[in-house]
Amino acid sequence: MEQTDGQKRVINLVDAFCDEHFDEPSIKQWCRSRGLPTRVYDAFYASDLAGYVLPRSVGGNDCPFLDRVTLIMAMVRRAGASLPFQSDMTALALLSSMRQVSQDEIVEDLYSHTGRVLFSQAFTEPNAGTDTQAVRTQVTSEADGIYLDGEKTYVSSGEFADNTLVLARDPMFGQMDGGMSLWLVPVRSEGVSTMPLNTIGQDMLASASLTFDHVKLNPEWQIQTEGKLNAMMKRQFGLGRVLVCASSAGLALAALDDAVVHAAEHTVKGRQLVSLPQIQEKLADMESRVRTILALTFQAARSADRDSRDFDLDTALAKRTVPSLAVQVASDALQVFGGIGYTDQTRVSRIWQDCRGNQIAWGTDEVMARVVAKAIVRKAGTRRW
Amino acid sequence: MEQTDGQKRVINLVDAFCDEHFDEPSIKQWCRSRGLPTRVYDAFYASDLAGYVLPRSVGGNDCPFLDRVTLIMAMVRRAGASLPFQSDMTALALLSSMRQVSQDEIVEDLYSHTGRVLFSQAFTEPNAGTDTQAVRTQVTSEADGIYLDGEKTYVSSGEFADNTLVLARDPMFGQMDGGMSLWLVPVRSEGVSTMPLNTIGQDMLASASLTFDHVKLNPEWQIQTEGKLNAMMKRQFGLGRVLVCASSAGLALAALDDAVVHAAEHTVKGRQLVSLPQIQEKLADMESRVRTILALTFQAARSADRDSRDFDLDTALAKRTVPSLAVQVASDALQVFGGIGYTDQTRVSRIWQDCRGNQIAWGTDEVMARVVAKAIVRKAGTRRW
Amino acid sequence: MEQTDGQKRVINLVDAFCDEHFDEPSIKQWCRSRGLPTRVYDAFYASDLAGYVLPRSVGGNDCPFLDRVTLIMAMVRRAGASLPFQSDMTALALLSSMRQVSQDEIVEDLYSHTGRVLFSQAFTEPNAGTDTQAVRTQVTSEADGIYLDGEKTYVSSGEFADNTLVLARDPMFGQMDGGMSLWLVPVRSEGVSTMPLNTIGQDMLASASLTFDHVKLNPEWQIQTEGKLNAMMKRQFGLGRVLVCASSAGLALAALDDAVVHAAEHTVKGRQLVSLPQIQEKLADMESRVRTILALTFQAARSADRDSRDFDLDTALAKRTVPSLAVQVASDALQVFGGIGYTDQTRVSRIWQDCRGNQIAWGTDEVMARVVAKAIVRKAGTRRW
Amino acid sequence: MEQTDGQKRVINLVDAFCDEHFDEPSIKQWCRSRGLPTRVYDAFYASDLAGYVLPRSVGGNDCPFLDRVTLIMAMVRRAGASLPFQSDMTALALLSSMRQVSQDEIVEDLYSHTGRVLFSQAFTEPNAGTDTQAVRTQVTSEADGIYLDGEKTYVSSGEFADNTLVLARDPMFGQMDGGMSLWLVPVRSEGVSTMPLNTIGQDMLASASLTFDHVKLNPEWQIQTEGKLNAMMKRQFGLGRVLVCASSAGLALAALDDAVVHAAEHTVKGRQLVSLPQIQEKLADMESRVRTILALTFQAARSADRDSRDFDLDTALAKRTVPSLAVQVASDALQVFGGIGYTDQTRVSRIWQDCRGNQIAWGTDEVMARVVAKAIVRKAGTRRW
Ligand SMILES: Cc1cc2nc3c(=O)[nH]c(=O)nc-3n(C[C@H](O)[C@H](O)[C@H](O)COP(=O)(O)OP(=O)(O)OC[C@H]3O[C@@H](n4cnc5c(N)ncnc54)[C@H](O)[C@@H]3O)c2cc1C
Ligand SMILES: Cc1cc2nc3c(=O)[nH]c(=O)nc-3n(C[C@H](O)[C@H](O)[C@H](O)COP(=O)(O)OP(=O)(O)OC[C@H]3O[C@@H](n4cnc5c(N)ncnc54)[C@H](O)[C@@H]3O)c2cc1C
Ligand SMILES: Cc1cc2nc3c(=O)[nH]c(=O)nc-3n(C[C@H](O)[C@H](O)[C@H](O)COP(=O)(O)OP(=O)(O)OC[C@H]3O[C@@H](n4cnc5c(N)ncnc54)[C@H](O)[C@@H]3O)c2cc1C
Ligand SMILES: Cc1cc2nc3c(=O)[nH]c(=O)nc-3n(C[C@H](O)[C@H](O)[C@H](O)COP(=O)(O)OP(=O)(O)OC[C@H]3O[C@@H](n4cnc5c(N)ncnc54)[C@H](O)[C@@H]3O)c2cc1C
């Protein structure tokens, strides 16, 4: 797999950034404190990398989605840990499917305050994950205004993002959209409370549950969906899936990087690990899984860039396959390390834990099968490969 | 698989004990503080269960190893977490392969102080895991006494056990045993220091690294091996492996228990999870893996009880197979829960993490293959099944 | 896993029989000619083994189903090929769930002619496999008698069994049984035609399609089901599944037997295959899969013997798991042989092909999941393991 | 994965050719008679496709190896069976690594007789497969000439190729090449005898064993290797592996093609197969495996075209991974068909059998791991992905 020029460029930028800002003790510390320090965020948004995450109106560049995906992958690989930039990127992806005007308003507003456009995305509820139709969070209109009530959970970056995008049942504003609407709610509004969620990995993503207790909504916070909510959400989930895959790809690459070094350096009974056939099999299988991961992830990203009819197929297939392959790669890497691989003295232990969450985030392995199968059958007659 | 009367008895005792002493918030707390509270230990040693862990000379009963294995399994199942009793049991197993007289001395000594016979087992070193021949911890004889120097790691219960059994290079006392000897060293001796090891699971086992910096040894601490060290260690590792499998079996059972309840109670789009074919496949596969786990673990335990010629084969085969199956069961259970399965609000997340360590502890999956294959070929002509 | 005395006895009988009648060139020849020669059948029915396959009324013994299962397993193991005795055994199983009187009549009738009670079982149709409700074969009553029309397929032993048991739609005689009835039709009746089916394995089972073109039925051929057809079929399918597993178990054991011998005898670059770690892993995994196969198959057989409430669970779980494990064992064995394993100069090639069919016969892997999951949830509260 | 223009061209040619010459009854017949009829060969060599298989000196074109690989893949996909053109292509590959002058001589000679350049390749012996050093076939020099004695086996196209390339131990001519030499021997020479080998698939490849009983060698038959035999063989094995992968890729694509059609058309209990979640999972997993197969195969082909330093890595990795994935795809497809998938009434049964051989041909799955692992470690510092 050749790198495109765009990919080479972004990887070089990432490497430069990480050389300066990342080292393993810091990463470990940031995981423990569940988030990147502001200083690192600021450095990121002051660097050339910002252009990949910001909308054009505030200085973003016009690169293909493939490059953004590559950014996440390359950066996660260097960190050996899931990074919150993934949330920024999905926020950006969402913006890009909005009408230009609402986009600009939001961006301006968000950007002017923090120099970032990050907002978390609060779709899932305790009883509405796979089934978004079961959402109970509710917009109601009362004499003195509009109110939001409900509970959201597993919200990535939910602990620290200043704003959160809420999907709610809304009989009034959601009429053209099946009774649903989207609101970008400042987390510091009265009535919003945040509860950290102890996930068993992806610590820097700082998942949280958010409760909305009669939160008074400013009408300007509503996203203008105008009957296109479903399409927007579908696109958004597609892009979100590819970004999750990018993160899994970065984690898998990091695991392989570390395992290769260890296998070359460590000896047992006087023999390099890499000379042991069982370790050789692991390395070979890791390599072929990593290549599969990259192939599927990039194919999905390109499908987004080309607005391909296979967008659903390619993104769902990647989402179904990549995270689970990444877990296997991470588990093999952990095993190559032996006892130390099961401690926090290696990155592979964290990587293995981080990887696991991606089999669930943004649509589970199981629910993807349906999307894929339907698309395959649909294109049966016309497929070239 | 029918339960023997002995198994039924021990399971009933375990259930009674756990009804009184275990509940999920406590377990969670004990994991966080890395160990069972003394109160629970004391209750255990005051109960009828103590007989299964104590040597006969201080009130232990004479039950088959199968019952001890069942105890660990049943208790871990109830806790949904690895428990330190596993260390007590392996200590007991070790005692049972010593000469009666040294056994009695040790027991008396240990038991009189704490009412327990627990000691941790310090075999592995940073560069000597699979390869015990590479052990560098060293006994030296000087004018004023005998001294121990070296570093041990991944020592289960190493953080809190009062004594630790150290395998060391010893040109003097180890002459009949290939230059190796075993010492039961009080952890509070001068020169011993303990460093907690952050494993990514099995928190209650409280792994630690131990450093021995010119520790003066009392000759009475030496275990009389008299040319039998190798045989003792082999037996000990065999029994230790079965106990690790028992722990994995308990974890897998707990994961299945929880998944079944969730699949029956939770609905998505108005349908019970258990009515979804993909969830059905998971449950079916979990069930057949759990049965395999039990069959292999019990077969290995019975092999120990019968002093079978297949002891090596049965214990190594169980060790190779059971922990990795348990990880799969746990991972499936986690997936059945969806997002919440990736948080500490469910037991399955912890179980998944705990399970993983057992693919490494007491001999990795990889190194078991050799033992198994050799034994299979050896018995080729005579096998009945 | 210990053998019961009954199992030992039957295995000894099988060994004696096979020593006399089986050798690889003959087996190969019988596969090519798609069936055992009459001489071997006659020898079988003249031996003490007959008692395990015949009903008591004509000299059969009263052994547990476990022993019958063991017979099939042991014999298939010796042959390294699927054997048609499996059909005899399923026929017997079916008889055993009939009323005593119809049983005796059938048996007497069949046995007096051939000394056997074999009949093939024609349930499946080109468009009614998993879905037995879709059966189109039809019984109609006309002025001059009752007629049968339809087509059955994948009928094991269909090529040579003198009689076949037909499941048909029958508005008249099937009233108490949901409009279905069972007929034991002599294959030489006018209007019956048989077409060999080229399966890619299990050649001695001689699968066939049967067409019934206005076959005049003798009312005595009808099996008296009296509202119990469903229950009978359910029991029958349960037992049939265990027998398929027995066959898979025998095949897997044979594959392991051969692989172990080859791994011990064959050398590459001067090293015994068994000393190569990758071959060791294969042998170890084969061994643990074979143990799983035996454990699940025997557990299901015992469940039948005890009339356990877990009959459905145990038989469906075995059926789901055992054949697919057997394919893996066979494939590993084939691989151990290298190039020659892909030719008919080894048994493993045939075994691999034979094994595959059992993932489909008597209910596919897929449809079993449902039965298992429902049963697991049902017993959730009461399970001991 | 986009098709290159070259790939599009070759696929169109293949489609046109197959539209005219392939249909399933013929393919089945050709498998039964173990070979393509001469008429089809002639048509192939009269078509534009010939250019992809012939050397330039006799009209071949100068396309990249990727296109040749695509030819095999596309043609095997249409046939749903392994095709002997694979042998022609590997013969061509071998030629291309010879000195120009010997190449031209051979080509002229072969081509002038048959219009083809096909020769089979006889490297493996009953006791020398993985271990080519163990070759025992021997060249000896006697008073009246040079003689060849020995036995070769698993020779693809060995039954009908007019010439065979023999690797032999040769103390005289092989001095510069570690005592080995290569001879292109006409199969009709006195002393050569051919024995068909009953493989359990790949019937059209017509494997054979060849015996050389004091065959008098014409010195012109010797291939001039001049100290480059090892390098030639290494390159040849690399290319041969990719061609085996191309064949597996074609088989996997054919299996998926058929499964998709069946899943869309066939119903069980009134539901299309494709609407059943377990079938959906199979289709999704087949799709992602097919994509992996294509990615790895094409990457290896491109590596050959670019003379990349990763040639060994890429070809060995493809060879290790692709054939085994193809078996899984084929097995899933077979399962989707149910009972009929286990008969010769579907292509998937044959495809499944054909696929299996490729896990052994041209170097087993096992031996590839070593090549891959060493290459991964070697490039550790420099890898971009
Ligand atoms: C690391 C992580 C990050 C996340 N980030 C966010 C975020 O930023 N914002 C946000 O809104 N949400 C987020 N989520 C939530 C995530 O989207 C949901 O957890 C996921 O969609 C599954 O929903 P659930 O947890 O309700 O599980 P359920 O829907 O209850 O699923 C339980 C199980 O049933 C299976 N299942 C469900 N339906 C079917 C079906 N029809 N057929 C077969 N199987 C089925 C599932 O596969 C799963 O195994 C995150 C989750 C994780 C783990
Ligand atoms: C949860 C846990 C609890 C433990 N408890 C204890 C304890 O109480 N006391 C104690 O002394 N130790 C304990 N250990 C340590 C444990 O026994 C070692 O970690 C284990 O034996 C592996 O040794 P290692 O870590 O040095 O890995 P290494 O030996 O360095 O192995 C690294 C990798 O190489 C592989 N490998 C090594 N040799 C070969 C070979 N010949 N062929 C193929 N592959 C090979 C291994 O499988 C592994 O994948 C524990 C470990 C864990 C994880
Ligand atoms: C070796 C062999 C021996 C046999 N012997 C006999 C015999 O002696 N007598 C006899 O009557 N029959 C026999 N059969 C037939 C066998 O019982 C059927 O082939 C089997 O039940 C499957 O039915 P089918 O072939 O119609 O496949 P289908 O029912 O068409 O199934 C096709 C695919 O769909 C899947 N599928 C179907 N329904 C579901 C569902 N609800 N959910 C998920 N997946 C589903 C299946 O698992 C399969 O993968 C034999 C078959 C074989 C292979
Ligand atoms: C379909 C097919 C087509 C073929 N076509 C040709 C052809 O045209 N010309 C030709 O010359 N040959 C051909 N072969 C032969 C093929 O190259 C050999 O079968 C293959 O290289 C394996 O050699 P072997 O059969 O001697 O097995 P062995 O070398 O005896 O191997 C037996 C087993 O041991 C394993 N093994 C061997 N060495 C090691 C090791 N060091 N470490 C771990 N495992 C090891 C192997 O993986 C295998 O599982 C073909 C084979 C097949 C199946």
* CA C139 to mean position of chain CA atoms: 27
pLDDT at A171 over 80: yes
**Could you tell me what percentage of chain B is helix, strand and coil, using 3-state DSSP and rounding each to the nearest 5?**
60, 15, 25
Neighbouring C-beta atoms of residue A32, cutoff 10 Å? 11
| Most informative mutation of C152, C154, C205, C359 for ligand 3 (most atoms within 8 A of CB) | C154
Question: Does ligand 4 come within 6 angstroms of the Cβ of D96?
Answer: no
Contacts C374 to B, Cβ<8 Å: 274, 280
Structural class in CATH, domain A5-114: mainly alpha
pLDDT, position C138: 97
| Residue of the CA atom closest to atom 16 of ligand 4 | D361
- Measured from the alpha carbon of residue D332, the closest ligand is 3
Which tens digits make up the pLDDT trace of D18-35? 999 999 999 999 999 999
- The answer to whether A210 and A194 are in contact (CB under 8 A) is yes
CB contact under 8 A, C356 and D338: no
CB contact under 8 A, B278 and D281: yes
pLDDT, position A310: 95
Cα dist from B25 to B257, B346, C106, whole Å: 18, 11, 65
Helices C365-378 and C311-337, packing angle to 10 deg: 140
Give the Å distance between the CA of A212 and the centre of ligand 1: 21
Mean confidence (pLDDT) of chain B: 94
Mean confidence (pLDDT) of chain C: 94
- Measured from the alpha carbon of residue B132, the closest ligand is 2
Which tens digits make up the pLDDT trace of D261-316? 999 999 999 999 999 999 999 999 999 999 999 999 999 999 999 999 999 999 99
Give the Å distance between the CA of A343 and the centre of ligand 1: 28
- The answer to whether A325 and A289 are in contact (CB under 8 A) is yes
For C67, the enclosing helix (H) or strand (E) is: helix C65-79
DSSP state of D202: -
Contacts A354 to B, Cβ<8 Å: none
pLDDT at D100 over 80: no
Residues of C with CB under 8 A from a CB of B: 1, 3, 11, 253, 257, 260-261, 263-264, 274, 277, 279-281, 283-285, 287-288, 290-292, 294-296, 299, 313, 317, 320-321, 366, 368-370, 372-374, 376-377, 380, 384-385
Give the Å distance between the CA of D286 and the centre of ligand 3: 20
When pLDDT is cut at 50, 70 and 90, the band that residue A1 belongs to is: confident
Burial of A6 (0-12, 13-18, 19+ CB in 10 A): middle
Nearest CA in chain C to B298: C1
When pLDDT is cut at 50, 70 and 90, the band that residue A287 belongs to is: very high
pLDDT, position B59: 86
Indicate the residue of C11, C370, C385 with minimum beta-carbon distance to B280: C370
Any chains having at least 3 CB pairs less than 8 A from chain A are: B, C, D
Contacts A278 to C, Cβ<8 Å: 277-278, 281
**Separation CA A71–CA A241 (nearest Å):** 15
Pocket around ligand 1: residues whose beta carbon is below 6 Å from it? A 121-124, 129-130, 154-156, 199, 202, 207, 357, 360-364, 366-367; B 266, 268, 273, 276, 278-279, 335-336, 338-339, 342; D 277
Which tens digits make up the pLDDT trace of C10-43? 999 999 999 999 999 999 999 999 999 999 999 9
Residues 6 or more apart whose CB falls under 8 angstroms from that of D30 comprise: D36, D37, D40, D81, D203, D204
pLDDT, position D56: 83
pLDDT at B339 over 80: yes
| DSSP output for D336-376 | HHGGGGGBTTSHHHHHHHHHHHTTTTTS-HHHHHHHHHHHH
Which tens digits make up the pLDDT trace of C86-122? 888 888 888 877 777 777 778 777 887 778 878 999 9
Indicate the residue of B284, B296, B376 with minimum beta-carbon distance to C373: B284
- Measured from the alpha carbon of residue B166, the closest ligand is 2
Q: C118-122, D56-60, D109-113: lowest mean pLDDT where?
A: D109-113
Contacts C199 to D, Cβ<8 Å: 342-344
- B56 vs C207 pLDDT, higher one: C207
Residues of D with CB under 8 A from a CB of A: 1, 3, 11, 253, 260-261, 263-264, 274, 277, 279-281, 283-285, 287-288, 290-292, 294-296, 299, 313, 317, 320-321, 366, 368-370, 372-374, 376-377, 380, 384-385
Contacts C366 to D, Cβ<8 Å: 276, 278-279, 335
When pLDDT is cut at 50, 70 and 90, the band that residue C214 belongs to is: very high
Q: A153-157, C58-62, C193-197: lowest mean pLDDT where?
A: C58-62
pLDDT, position B111: 83
B229-379 under CATH 1.20.140.10, yes or no: yes
Neighbouring C-beta atoms of residue C35, cutoff 10 Å? 18
CB contact under 8 A, A131 and B201: no
ipTM over 0.90: yes
Question: Does ligand 2 come within 6 angstroms of the Cβ of B206?
Answer: no
- C309 vs A97 pLDDT, higher one: C309
For B166-187, what is the mean pLDDT?
94
May I ask the CATH architecture of the domain D229-382? Up-down Bundle (1.20)
Contacts A269 to B, Cβ<8 Å: 130-131, 133-134
| DSSP output for C232-277 | HHHHHHHHHHHHHHHHHHHHHHHHHHHHHHHHHH-EETTEEGGGSH
Give the Å distance between the CA of B331 and the centre of ligand 1: 15
**Separation CA D56–CA A328 (nearest Å):** 46
For D103-120, what is the mean pLDDT?
80
* Range(s) within chain B of domains with CATH label 1.10.540.10: 5-114
Burial of B347 (0-12, 13-18, 19+ CB in 10 A): buried
For B222-228, what is the mean pLDDT?
89
Neighbouring C-beta atoms of residue B261, cutoff 10 Å? 13
* Range(s) within chain A of domains with CATH label 1.20.140.10: 229-380
**Separation CA B122–CA B150 (nearest Å):** 11
**Separation CA D164–CA D187 (nearest Å):** 7
Name beta bridge partners: B182.
B167
Indicate the residue of C134, C153, C364 with minimum beta-carbon distance to D335: C364
Q: How far is B197 from chain A (nearest CA, A)?
A: 7
| DSSP output for D97-117 | TS-HHHHHHHHHHHHHHHS--
Residues 6 or more apart whose CB falls under 8 angstroms from that of D116 comprise: D41, D45, D88, D110
CB contact under 8 A, D263 and A377: yes
When pLDDT is cut at 50, 70 and 90, the band that residue D113 belongs to is: confident
| Residue of the CA atom closest to atom 9 of ligand 4 | D155
For A64-88, what is the mean pLDDT?
96
* φ/ψ (deg, to 5) at A93: -60, -40
* Range(s) within chain B of domains with CATH label 1.20.140.10: 229-379
pLDDT, position A81: 98
When pLDDT is cut at 50, 70 and 90, the band that residue B135 belongs to is: very high
Cα dist from D296 to B88, C248, D321, whole Å: 51, 35, 8
Which tens digits make up the pLDDT trace of C296-312? 999 999 999 999 999 99
pLDDT at A283 over 90: yes
Structure tokens at D286: 């087949």
pLDDT, position B56: 84
Residue C151 identity (one-letter amino acid)? E
pLDDT, position A353: 98
Any chains having at least 3 CB pairs less than 8 A from chain B are: A, C, D
Q: How far is D199 from chain C (nearest CA, A)?
A: 4
CB contact under 8 A, C276 and A278: no
Record: fold of C120-221: Butyryl-CoA Dehydrogenase, subunit A; domain 2 (2.40.110)
For A226: left if phi > 0, alpha if psi spans -120 to 50, otherwise beta; the answer is: left
pLDDT, position B250: 98
CB contact under 8 A, D369 and A277: yes
Residue carrying structure tokens 């102890």: A198
C191-196 long-range CB contacts below 8 Å, 24 or more apart? C191/C148, C191/C215, C191/C216, C194/C158, C194/C159, C196/C34, C196/C159
* Range(s) within chain A of domains with CATH label 2.40.110.10: 120-221
Q: Which residues of B266-291 are buried (b: 16+ CB within 10 A; e: fewer)?
A: bebeeeebbbbbbbbbbbbbbbbbbb
Q: Which of A269, A273, A278 to mutate to test the interface with C (most CBs of C within 10 A)?
A: A278
Contacts D287 to A, Cβ<8 Å: 313, 317, 372, 376
CB contact under 8 A, D124 and C335: no
Q: A128-142, C111-125, D35-49: lowest mean pLDDT where?
A: C111-125
When pLDDT is cut at 50, 70 and 90, the band that residue D51 belongs to is: very high
For D89, the enclosing helix (H) or strand (E) is: helix D85-96
pLDDT, position C113: 78
- Measured from the alpha carbon of residue B279, the closest ligand is 1
Residue carrying structure tokens 């907002």: A119
pLDDT at B102 over 80: no
Contacts A276 to C, Cβ<8 Å: 277
**Separation CA A109–CA A105 (nearest Å):** 6
Which tens digits make up the pLDDT trace of A210-233? 999 999 999 989 998 889 999 999
**Nearest-CA neighbor of D89 among D211, D234, D205?**
D205
Q: Is the dihedral of CA D216, D220, D225, D229 positive or negative?
A: negative
Which tens digits make up the pLDDT trace of B52-65? 998 888 889 999 99
When pLDDT is cut at 50, 70 and 90, the band that residue D111 belongs to is: confident
Residues 6 or more apart whose CB falls under 8 angstroms from that of B183 comprise: B139, B148, B165, B166, B168, B217, B221, B222, B223
Question: Does ligand 2 come within 6 angstroms of the Cβ of A336?
Answer: yes
Structure tokens at A45: 């948004």
For B282, the enclosing helix (H) or strand (E) is: helix B277-305
* Range(s) within chain D of domains with CATH label 1.20.140.10: 229-382
Give the Å distance between the CA of C121 and the centre of ligand 3: 14
Instruction: Please work out, in degrees rounded to the nearest 5, the angle formed at the alpha carbon of residue D344 by the alpha carbons of D339 and D347.
Output: 90
pLDDT, position C107: 79
Structure tokens at A190: 């009265």
For B146, the enclosing helix (H) or strand (E) is: strand B145-155
Closest ligand 2 atom to Cα of B366: 47
Record: fold of A229-380: Butyryl-CoA Dehydrogenase, subunit A; domain 3 (1.20.140)
| Residue of the CA atom closest to atom 37 of ligand 3 | C130
